[in-house]
């Protein structure tokens, strides 16, 4: 018996757990932005490139997978960050047929240009280097620190848990932030029950309260 099919029978309708109606939390990474990555740039140039990335919407050829469209249809609430790539991801997932609340609390964790002179690299590699510097404490003036971002993530999971009391909530956000949310939710006794796409564009993860998944397993064992 596949538990995923059992879960699908109650998707989006909520389950009563510990006396409360509780839905699932679904996190989504945005689709591919409309910006060229096939360039070699300096660290300083990377700061400008990242600013353009944050201003970019999705590439015109981008389309959401059917699995994501189905999840969006079943969600009671759909949220996004305030960055265009996340807003357009939510719009495409919902077909533009419903209101999506955008909140800056859901924007990506910072990627400050690292203090590495002379090198010219592609943006993807600069992103890895930048994330490493930031992780180990490199935070220029005005940049949110790693510790501050974790505090923001705690507020995010509280907000998502509140929305999930009324049914499934879907958040269209960003790769690293979604990973941080993943770590926090699993510490808060949410269970990641499904995922698709790894960390790639349009990837998604589903979380359910541990009490709900325990109930599903018990029911399955009884059959």
CATH number where 10 lies: 3.40.50
73 within domain boundaries: yes
Helices 84-94 & 43-55 angle (0-180, nearest 10): 40
Do strands 20-22 and 101-102 pair parallel, antiparallel, or not at all (unpaired)? unpaired
**Number of folded domains in the chain?**
1
129 within domain boundaries: no
- Residue 210's pLDDT band (cuts 50, 70, 90): confident
41 within domain boundaries: no
111 within domain boundaries: no
213 within domain boundaries: yes
pLDDT at 212: 61
Residue pLDDT, tens place only, 101-142 = 999 999 999 999 999 999 999 999 999 999 999 999 999 999
In sequence order, which ranges of 2-145 are alpha helices (DSSP H)?
A: 3-8, 43-55, 66-74, 84-94, 123-135
DSSP string, 144-199: PPHHHHHHHHHHHHHHHHHHHTTS-EEEEE-HHHHHHHHHHHHHTTEEEEEEESTT
Do strands 15-17 and 20-22 pair parallel, antiparallel, or not at all (unpaired)? antiparallel
Residue pLDDT, tens place only, 31-89 = 999 999 999 999 999 999 999 999 999 999 999 999 999 999 999 999 999 999 999 99
- Residue 7's pLDDT band (cuts 50, 70, 90): very low
Q: What's the rounded mean pLDDT across residues 5-24?
A: 49
pLDDT at 59: 98
pLDDT at 194: 97
36 within domain boundaries: no
Contact residues for 131 (Cβ-Cβ < 8 A; gap 6+): 111, 176
203 within domain boundaries: yes
Task: Give the structural domain span for 25.
Answer: 3-31+65-103+145-222
71 within domain boundaries: yes
């Amino acid at each position: 018996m596949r538990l995923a099919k059992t879960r699908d029978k109650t998707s989006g309708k909520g389950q009563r757990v510990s006396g409360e109606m509780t839905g699932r939390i679904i996190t989504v990474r945005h689709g591919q932005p409309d910006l060229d990555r096939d360039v070699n740039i300096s660290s300083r140039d990377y700061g400008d490139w990242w600013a353009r990335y944050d201003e970019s919407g999705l590439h015109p050829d981008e389309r959401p997978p059917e699995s994501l469209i189905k999840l969006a249809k079943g969600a009671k609430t759909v949220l996004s960050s305030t960055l265009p790539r996340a807003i357009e991801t939510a719009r495409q997932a919902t077909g533009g047929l419903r209101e999506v609340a955008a909140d800056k609390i859901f924007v990506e964790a910072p990627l400050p240009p690292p203090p590495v002179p002379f090198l010219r690299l592609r943006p993807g590699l600069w992103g890895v280097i930048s994330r490493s510097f930031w992780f180990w404490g490199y935070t220029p003036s005005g940049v949110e620190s790693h510790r501050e971002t974790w505090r923001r993530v705690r507020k995010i999971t509280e907000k998502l848990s509140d929305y999930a009391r009324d049914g499934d909530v879907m958040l269209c956000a960003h790769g690293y932030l979604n990973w941080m949310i993943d770590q926090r939710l699993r510490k808060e006794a949410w269970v990641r029950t499904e995922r698709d796409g790894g960390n790639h564009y349009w990837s998604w993860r589903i979380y359910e309260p541990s009490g709900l998944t325990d109930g599903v397993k018990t029911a399955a064992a009884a059959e």
